[in-house]
Amino acid sequence: MLHLDEERRSDLLDKGALTVGADGDEVLVGLSLAESHFYLMYEENPIEAHDTGETALYLQLKHKHLAARGAALLNASEASQITH
């Protein structure tokens, strides 16, 4: 489970950024539990605390997460059009 306060969890849910993964863990859309932990940890710490490798990994995960969120929104939009 991700360690989120209720305000952060609510914000992520409202944005469609949080889901339950195949193994039942709360994760960021498109990311594993470990990736979600790293992503959130990176965002919570000051930028100067990160090295180049961490920044590169964060950017890869951000791209993966945003692409998965975009695909989910597109699928939901297409499903909505089919039912209307």
Q: Per-residue pLDDT for 84 more than 80?
A: no
Q: 57 near 83, Cβ under 8 Å?
A: no
- Structural domains of the chain, count: 1
pLDDT one-digit tens code per residue, 2-38: 989 999 999 999 999 999 988 999 999 999 999 999 9
pLDDT one-digit tens code per residue, 50-73: 788 999 999 999 999 999 999 988
Q: Catalogue the E-assigned strands of the chain.
A: 18-20, 26-28
Q: Per-residue pLDDT for 75 more than 60?
A: yes
Residue 27: which domain range? 6-83
pTM, whole model, 2 decimals?
0.83
Q: Is residue 56 part of a domain?
A: yes
Q: Is residue 14 part of a domain?
A: yes
Could you give the CA distance from residue 7 to residue 76 in angstroms, rounded to a whole number? Answer: 25
Q: Is residue 60 part of a domain?
A: yes
Give, in degrees to the nearest 5, the angle at Cα 70 between 53 and 51.
Answer: 10
Q: Is residue 44 part of a domain?
A: yes
**72 CB burial (10 A radius; 0-12, 13-18, 19+):** middle
Q: Is residue 1 part of a domain?
A: no
